Amino acid sequence: MESFFTRFKNVLVLVAILLAQTIGLAVQVRRPVESGAPDSSKVTLIRYWAVSVVTPFERFFHGIGYTFRHGWSNYVDLRHTRQENHDLQEQIARLRLEQASFAEDAMQGHRLQAMLDFQQHYVSTTVAAQVIGTSGNDLSRVVYIDKGAKDGLKADQAVITPDGIVGKIRDVFPHTSQVLLINDQTSGAGVLLATTRIRAILRGSTTGQILINNLTPDDRIKPGEQVLSSGGDQVYPRGLPVGTIESIKVDPDHQPYTLIQLRPAANLNQLEEVLVITGTQTTLPAAAQKDLAAGAATAEAQATAKQLADQQAAEAAARSAAQIVADRLPSIHEGDDDTTKTGASATPAAKTPPVSVVPKPLPTLHSDRYSPGATPPAVNLRPGAPEAANPVVPQTPTPDATTQPATPKPAQPRPRKSQPPPDSAQPPTQSPNPQP
Amino acid sequence: MATRSFTSRRELEQHSFPSAVALLVPLGAILLQALLPRPFPRLAILDLPLIVTIFFAVSRRNPVAGTLTGAAIGLLQDALTAQPIGVNGMAKSVIGYIAASIGIQVDVENLTTRILINFGFFLINSFLLFLINRRLLGLTNFHIYWGHEFIRAAINTFVAIPIFFLLDNTKRNE
């Protein structure tokens, strides 16, 4: 018996170790498999030991690299701070205008949601953290961040960047947390296609791609469509960017389903700083409400300014038209010349723009029945009477109050024929076709 | 009269390492493996812990030591991942055992042998991981792309050779 153990010592050790690890695996893996579920307390203890050994070194090297890299870049960046500040100010102004255009829709949507009693979750509190390490294994896509339970982090909290979702916290240690990225093979998230509003489930893969494989072929789904978080998984708040559809093809393993590959919105390979969502609320946060109100005020101010500008433009157009007509009329120029000549009579009233000036037609040189003032009044006309019975009596045009020129009246040339001389105080009525 | 004793290759070329080297080199490999992919994401294709496992196993030429070294390194590596603890532990235990057994039989100091064993062990490691994930853990969506695995094996072999020469300097002949 002793010789048996001596002879097969190596193999027996191997078998014993493999057996022990197999039992360990069987204890850890639960059925049904919960994707990304945190470990049991015993496994967490083993991970805690390993993380405790490794993370101090990771923090040390990360700190050195960060200090060196950012110390130099901070110095270099100072040269462009003024320009960047200017650019950012412009960007803020532009974003304010964009925000204003969205504010009205947002407020309307908010009111409608309130009416329909939707339970919307808004991000209220976040904790910023830095990525200090990875798992070092491309079959397990996790990263370690420098914030843990002491900073208020808990398992299953969503981790995001301003670009989009990153993953969720899987395990929390006192000063460190393990973040399961959305492209890990055990990851999953509820998503919504932005244009078609189709709900789907997103999964990671062994190759690090993000896939949707629970949808049947649909012609409405096109590459380039944006994918948002649906909020149905109770981890990621609704409406956060997840990625865009990169390709759509038939899933060879699960027909007739399609295999939709996404390009993640956040750069999962180059994560430096992330935000952990530590709290959500059903109402819009105070800061967001303030921004929304500011956006609405900006929109209102924009609308008022636009209305005023339109009004001014209309006035200017009218003024311009009157000016053009006035410029074409010799009477105005004569009046102006007269005013220039008199000099002393150039009162402030005479300098007013010719907005209220109605141009006067020149006296008719060859008067006929169509000449202004040639038509007799209706009371003098008899229906059916010959033309001779209705004498054409030149009428003295009645001046209208609005047709009184503001400028001194120019001297009228005298007619050559039987046309009565027009009264200088009572100019003739406006002719539709004034003769120059 | 001089006496001649016939000793095996194992007895002639069995190396040992200082405790500090035996402890710090695997730890350093795991640490580098965790740190490097952050600034250089493409370096995630490397498997420095496996290179170290193979080196210690073939150098010590002791299957028990190789198995234990592989198990320890693999378990520590697993503890940093989101996978169940034991996946890499089991794979590297087997690799350590086989590498130590081969080290008894062949001359592992030769460059060609080193290239071949490294390339071969990386492919075996990929196959073992596939078996463990697919069969033991029942992950039906776990796929292995052999083209990618060949590239991974080639790149790791290329990295392993200078590391082997570097670590040769830490050997302590008995």
ipTM confidence: 0.82
For residue A199 the two structure tokens come to 């709900």
Neighbours of A318 (CB within 10 A): 11
Nearest residue, CB atoms, B85 vs list A43, A205, A207: A43
Cα–Cα distance, A49 to B89 (Å, whole number): 16
Contact A201, A188 (CB under 8 A): yes
* Better-predicted residue by pLDDT, A322 or A340: A322
How far apart are the C-alpha atoms of A13 and A9, rounded to whole Å? Answer: 6
For position B67, what pLDDT does the model report? 93
DSSP state letter for A94: H
Nearest CB among B37, B80, B93 relative to A14 is that of B93
Query: CA-CA distance, B50 to B55, in Å (whole number)?
Result: 9
Q: Do A18 and B90 lie within an 8 Å CB cutoff? A: yes
- The pLDDT of residue A110 is above 90: no
Tell me the per-residue pLDDT of A194-218, one tens digit each, with 9 for 90 and over: 888 888 999 898 888 899 988 888 8
B107 in any annotated domain: yes
Between these two residues, B6 and B57, which has the higher pLDDT value?
B57
Alpha-carbon span A225 to A347, nearest angstrom: 70
Alpha-carbon distance of A319 to A353, in angstroms, equals 9
CA distance B1 to chain A (A): 35
Percentage above 70 pLDDT, chain B = 91
> Coil, strand, or helix at residue A136?
coil
Indicate whether B4 belongs to any domain.
no
Best of A35, A138, A253 to disrupt the B interface by mutation (most B CBs within 10 Å)?
A: A138
From chain A, pick out residues whose CB is under 8 angstroms from the CB of B144. 206
- Dihedral sign, Cα of residue A378, residue A382, residue A384, residue A385: negative
As a whole number of angstroms, the distance between CA B167 and CA B58 comes to 12
Residue A279, strand partner residues: A125
Q: Do A25 and B44 touch (CB under 8 A)?
A: no
Residue A239 reports pLDDT greater than 80? yes
Q: Indicate yes or no: CB of A14 within 8 angstroms of CB of B97.
A: yes
pLDDT at A8: 82
At A134, is the secondary structure helix, strand, or coil? strand
Contact yes or no for A29 and B37 at CB 8 A: no
* Counted domains in chain B: 1
Query: What's the rounded Cα separation, in Å, for the pair A73 and A1?
Result: 70
Task: Return the residue matching tokens 């998503």.
Answer: A191
Contact A191, A242 (CB under 8 A): yes
- A28 to B31: CB separation less than 8 angstroms, yes or no: no
Candidates B85, B89, B143; nearest CB to A206:
B143
A51 at B interface, C-beta within 8 A: yes
Which residue in the set B63, B80, B83 is minimally distant from A50, CB to CB?
A: B80
**Structure confidence at residue B174 as a pLDDT band (50, 70, 90):** low
For A123, the 3-state DSSP assignment is strand
Verify whether the Cβ–Cβ distance A21 to B71 is below 8 Å: yes
* Residue B5 falls inside a structural domain: no
- Per domain, the residue ranges of chain A are 35-284
| Higher pLDDT pick, B72 / A334 | B72
| CA pair distance A356, A349, nearest whole angstrom | 11
Cα atoms found within 13 Å of the Cα of residue A85, Cβ hemisphere only? 6
Peptide bond into A162 cis (omega under 30): no
Percentage of residues in chain A with pLDDT exceeding 70? 72
Which CATH number belongs to the domain containing residue B48 in this structure?
1.10.1760
Let me know how many helices (H) and strands (E) chain B has, helices first: 7, 2
- Sign, CA torsion B76/B82/B88/B89: positive
- Other CB atoms within a 10 A radius of the CB of residue B152 amount to 19
Integer Cα distance of A12 and B97 in angstroms: 11
Count of pairs with CB atoms under 8 A, one residue in A, one in B: 147
pLDDT tens digits for range A127-184: 889 898 888 888 888 999 999 999 999 888 999 988 889 999 998 988 899 999 999 9
Q: Is A410 a residue whose pLDDT tops 50?
A: no
Residue B3 lies in a domain: no
Q: What are the Cα distances from residue A217, in Å, to A204, A214, A262, B27, B169?
A: 20, 10, 16, 49, 60
DSSP B68: H
Q: Does A49 touch chain B (CB under 8 A)?
A: yes
pLDDT digits (tens, 9 = 90+) for A275-328: 898 887 777 677 777 777 777 788 888 888 888 999 989 888 888 887 887 777
Residue B159: predicted pLDDT: 94
Check B79 against A47: CB less than 8 A apart.
yes
User: Where does A176-252 show beta strands of DSSP type E?
Assistant: 177-181, 188-193, 199-203, 210-215, 226-229, 241-250
Phi and psi dihedrals of A124, rounded to 5? -110, -45
- The string over B89-114, giving b where at least 16 C-beta atoms fall within 10 Å of a residue's C-beta and e elsewhere, is bbbbbbbbbbbbbbbbeeebeeeeeb
* Dihedral pair phi/psi, residue A352, rounded to 5°: -65, 145
Interchain CB distance below 8 Å, B83 and A137: yes
Cβ B104 vs Cβ B61: under 8 Å = yes
CA distance to A30, A98, A242, B21, B57, per residue, from A294 (Å): 51, 12, 28, 64, 68
Helices B48-60 and B63-79 meet at what angle, rounded to 10? 170
User: Does the distance separating the beta carbons of B101 and A10 come in below 8 Å?
Assistant: yes
Q: Which residues of A are less than 8 Å from B67 in CB distance? A: 10, 13-14, 17
Q: Tell me which chain A residues have a C-beta less than 8 angstroms from the C-beta of B79.
A: 46-47, 49-51
Neighbours of A148 (CB within 10 A): 21
CB nearest to A142's CB, from B64, B81, B141 = B81
Q: How would residue B129 be classed by pLDDT, with cut points 50, 70 and 90?
A: very high
CA-nearest of A196, A154, A199, A195 to A177 is A154
A20 closest CA partner among B79, B166, B90, B88: B90
Q: Is A139 on the interface with B (CB under 8 A)?
A: yes
Taking CA atoms, A319 is separated from A239, A357, A401, in Å, by 51, 11, 20
CA distances to A31, A392, A421 from A379, rounded to whole Å, are 108, 13, 24
* A25 → closest Cβ in B68, B77, B136: B136
Domain that holds residue B110: 10-173
User: Tokens for A420?
Assistant: 């009565």
Q: Which chain B residues are closer than 8 Å to A132 by Cβ? A: 38
Q: Which residue of B has its CA nearest to A35?
A: B82
For A136, the closest of B80, B138, B145 (CB atoms) is B80
Three-state DSSP class for residue A150: helix
Could you tell me which of B74, B81, B16, B67 has the C-alpha nearest to residue A15? B67
Is A8 touching B (CB cutoff 8 A)? no
Smallest Cβ–Cβ distance between B34 and the set A17, A134, A207 belongs to A134
CB A130 within 8 A of CB A142: no
Nearest CA in chain B to A53: B27
Mean pLDDT (chain A) is 75
Reading the block at residue A289, the tokens are: 């409400």
